[in-house]
Amino acid sequence: MTQVIDIPMADIDRPCSAEAQRRAVLALESGDVVFLPNLRFALRGGEDRLLTEAVAGQAKNVSLDPVSGALRGSDAGKAEQALLQGMMARFASFSRTLIGNLLPSYQARLQQARTSFRPIEIAGRASAWRKDDTRLHVDSFPSSPTQGARILRVFSNIHPGGQVRKWRLGESFEHVAQRYIRTLPGPVWGAGAVLHSLGLTKGRRSDYDHYMLRLHDRMKADLDYQSSAAQSGYDFPAGSTWIVFTDQASHAAMSGQYALEQTFHLPVQAMLDPSRSPLRVLERLLGRPLA
């Protein structure tokens, strides 16, 4: 089962102890969640105006490109968009500082991806089953192949009224993979290169990406599994932060509103123990290289 490991980090600008750093890396690479109950991302003057579903328009998330600084998914006016860009850029910086002081062994190899703001209440939100994040799943993104790199994500609950963010946490990645891997159809030769040449993916989809997408979909489609799999609930309070490899930890977001999230990609070789990565687990189960 995925566990939640508390680490009492409250000062974003000071390195954690060597023991806290070791505990954090071991927890993350085991597929657990590192929970920082005392680490708050504080809003600045005027940013409370952004705590409304209206800033997202028809999208469920607002995203910030780390290179161009461009926003996507917001229908807000120019003044609110500028405020939104500033808040999300600060969260991107907050997340980099957090990783540097808690997970310094990862810092040099991390690649920063998009920052997102999630202003929409999860509970009751209409969604197609593949996009229904209230179902247990591991992360894999159709248009953004990782070719085996890890998906490390930092979350902060910034709800002003104290609402918790409710998650479900499920079985270990290896257990899930063993359950489904032999039932997943294999990749079609050359499909990854074709998808990339047509602009449908941002990079070439490897065999690893193929199997992770199929695993993501099979988990969400299996309603018997959703109800019967070993799992537990966890509430992340407002004013807290947590970190998790979402390609490894089986998780579902059940309710909550107003959260920030930062995605990083980490090469498998930068892990303390690469054998725990989903890439190496799937290669072991299938008996061949996948990326």
Residues 41-73 pLDDT 10s: 999 989 999 999 999 877 889 999 988 889 999
pLDDT at 143 > cutoff 90: no
The CATH number covering residue 221 comes to 2.60.120
Please report whether residue 92 resides in a domain. yes
Q: Which domain holds residue 276?
A: 4-286
Place of tokens 């998906």: 151
Residue 282 — left, alpha, or beta (φ > 0 → left; ψ -120 to 50 → alpha)? alpha
Please report whether residue 291 resides in a domain. no
CB-CB contact of 169 with 232 (8 Å): yes
pLDDT at 126 > cutoff 90: no
Mean pLDDT of the chain, nearest integer: 95
Quote the CA–CA distance of 127 and 48 in Å, as a whole number: 27
pTM of the entire predicted model: 0.95
CB-CB contact of 264 with 91 (8 Å): no
What number is the average pLDDT over the span 180-203? 87
pLDDT score at 66: 85
pLDDT at 30 > cutoff 90: yes
Structurally, how many domains does the chain consist of? 1
pLDDT score at 75: 85
Please report whether residue 23 resides in a domain. yes
Name every residue whose Cβ is closer than 8 Å to that of residue 147 and which is 6 or more positions away in sequence.
Answer: 203, 204, 206, 208, 209, 291
Taking alpha carbons only, the member of 123, 158, 129, 127 closest to residue 262 is 158
